[in-house]
Structures are given as structure tokens and as C-alpha cells.
Copies of this chain bind each other. A is one copy, B any other.
Amino acid sequence: MSIRIGILGYGNLGRGVECAIRQNDDMELAAVFTRRDPASVHILTEHVPVYDVSKLESYQDKIDVLLLCGGSATDLPVQTPEYVKYFNVVDSFDTHAKIPQHFANVDKAAKESGKIGMISVGWDPGMFSLNRVYADAVLPEGATYTFWGKGVSQGHSDAIRRIEGVADAKQYTIPVPKALDQVRNGEMPQLSTRQKHTRECFVTVKEGADLAKIEKEIKEMPNYFADYDTTVHFISQEELNKNHSGIPHGGVVLRSGKTGHQLEHQHVIEYSLKLDSNPEFTASILVAYARAAYRMNQEGQCGCKTVLDVAPAYLSRQSADALRQTML
């Protein structure tokens, strides 16, 4: 019997989940739920219904795991504790500083309902977190570094778009090659924000816009750009559409550490991602953790879980026996 998946929210992430389910033959898409007019939402899978979100609770017997594909700012803090009352849920809550509070809220509701609430699933938080924890546990004396990019930061692109005179924008976060090299060589450098990443912006403007003023506003924007070396390119909308329409991303988690009686030996652990589509890759991770949530709940587990609480075998389509034979 397939694991029946529901999707709440049909944006880039929800569509990515829909595509990922098709790659996992032990799963099926049961229904998509939306806050928009369901008649206006056209999904890629035939014969799967799209319902108004108000119908969700009545679907309790037809969905094994509900994947919450909303945003971390306002959707998930409300939705995850709410829907874990009725379903095993998986979310991609990625506001790192607020994870402890979100965990507490979801854990309380999930323990009351007997369901699994799997939070902060994706690649950071997510696969990168795993790698930070594994590497730190294995090399206690060392330093861990996370670099992001080269990739599109949606938040930074949005910030540029809010500047007066800007029509459209795409911002790339790029690791500084020299910093990466130092870390890979085991030098364990102390790196400032500016030394770790640069920011490159491609901007189209409205007629009569003051380019110098826009560039200055971008480069001096606190939190977003002021602490970075930032490059601004003004280009045409055609060029933006042609060369910058994708949502690539990626990054690297590195730990270098020392072992031996006199700490005489050095080791470098590196985990890196190169992603053509950030939302589709994130969605693929959500789907693998939906399988884990289903299995853990079948075993009688409940409460809030993160990727740190899930043994790798739960994620795989293969049985434990098969994994030991083919993957170990």
C-alpha cells in the first residue's frame, strides 16, 4: 500500500513535492489543499483533486502525511502546530533562531495527538545540519564552516525589488574562493562575514531611475548588503529573463579537525551541494522525510522531530536488509 501524501500550499515548493512523489513508487499524491480558489489552481498530476484548505480536517482518513509547503514567516508557525493535531506533518521551517520555540509548539500538539511533526526539513536547516552534527561528533577538536552558493537568495532579491526605481532583480550569494581554499587546506581561519561571501546583483530599472542612487542604496542596505562586498549590474529585462530565470543554489559544509596524541594529524570533511533548482531539491528532501515520519508513527512514535532525530534507514525506499546488502 502506498503512503498517501497531502500537499498544503501549491507554490514552487508544493509543485516540487508533487514532482518528487512521482519519483517514489511507494507514495501517491492524495490531494492538494490551497487557500486560493481551488478552480484557479492547476496541478501537474491528473485525477488528483485540489480542495480549499477548509476541507483539510475531513481528509484525516485519506492522508498519511501532510506536507506543509508554506513560508516560515507567517504560515508554518501557525499551520504546523495546528495540522499536527490531525496528521503526521513535515515542514521546512527555516528561521534558525526561532526553531526552539517552533519545536516546543509542535511537540506539545504532536504528543497530544499521537502524530509526528517533522520540522525544519530541507538542506539548511536539514542536510547541512546533519553534516554539521556528524562532523562535529567525529572531530571534536576542530572548526565547522558553512558556505552558501553560488545561488539565488530570494530574500535578498526581494529586498532589492523594494527599492524605488527597481523593476526586477536577482541576487546571487557567492562564497569567496580564497576563504574556501583556506578552510579546505585545514588552516581553520577566523572569517568575517565579508571574507566568507560576496553578493552579486542583476537589476532592471524603471524608466528615469537614478542608477547611482539605486546602486548606493543596495550596497548600503543594513543586514542584507552593508557587511558584504556587493556588485551591481544593471541589465535589460530580456537579459534577466534569459540568463537569470532559474533558482539554482548550493553550498558547502566543511569541518577540519585534528586527532592524535599530540593532535599531529589533520582531517577535512566536506559536504557540498550543487543544485539546479532549490525548491525541487528541498521538496525531494521533504518527501524522503515524509516516508520517515510515516514509518516512525507506524512504530508508535510521536512528537516533534528534526532531521537530527531520524535514523538514515527510515528515509530509504529499501528495506533494512537490502540497505545492509547494497549500501553499507
Interface-facing stretch out of A31-39, A64-72, A108-116, A310-318: A310-318
The verdict on A53 contacting chain B, using a C-beta distance below 8 Å, is no
CB atoms of B133 and A313 under 8 A apart: yes
Closest to A262 in B: B19
CB atoms of B328 and A288 under 8 A apart: no
Closest to A276 in B: B265
The complex places the Cα of A260 from the Cα of B21 at a distance, in Å, of 10
CB atoms of B308 and A133 under 8 A apart: no
- Decide yes or no: A311 and B313 within 8 Å by CB, A96-B328, A259-B19 being known contacts: no
CB atoms of A315 and B275 under 8 A apart: no
The verdict on A273 contacting chain B, using a C-beta distance below 8 Å, is yes
> CB within 8 A of A324: which of B136, B306, B324?
B306
The complex places the Cα of A324 from the Cα of B317 at a distance, in Å, of 27
- List B contacts of A271 (CB < 8 A): 131, 269-271
CB atoms of B321 and A100 under 8 A apart: yes
- List B contacts of A275 (CB < 8 A): 265, 267
CB distance from A129 to the nearest CB of B (A): 5
CB atoms of A99 and B328 under 8 A apart: yes
> CB within 8 A of A320: which of B125, B288, B308?
B308
CB atoms of A313 and B324 under 8 A apart: no
Closest to A325 in B: B100
CB atoms of A259 and B16 under 8 A apart: yes
> CB within 8 A of A327: which of B20, B129, B323?
B129
A-B contact pairs, 26 of them (CB 8 A): A16-B259, A19-B259, A23-B259, A100-B321, A100-B324, A103-B324, A120-B328, A127-B134, A129-B327, A133-B312, A133-B323, A133-B327, A134-B315, A137-B288, A137-B315, A137-B317, A138-B284, A138-B288, A138-B315, A259-B280, A260-B277, A265-B277, A267-B273, A272-B272, A308-B312, A311-B311
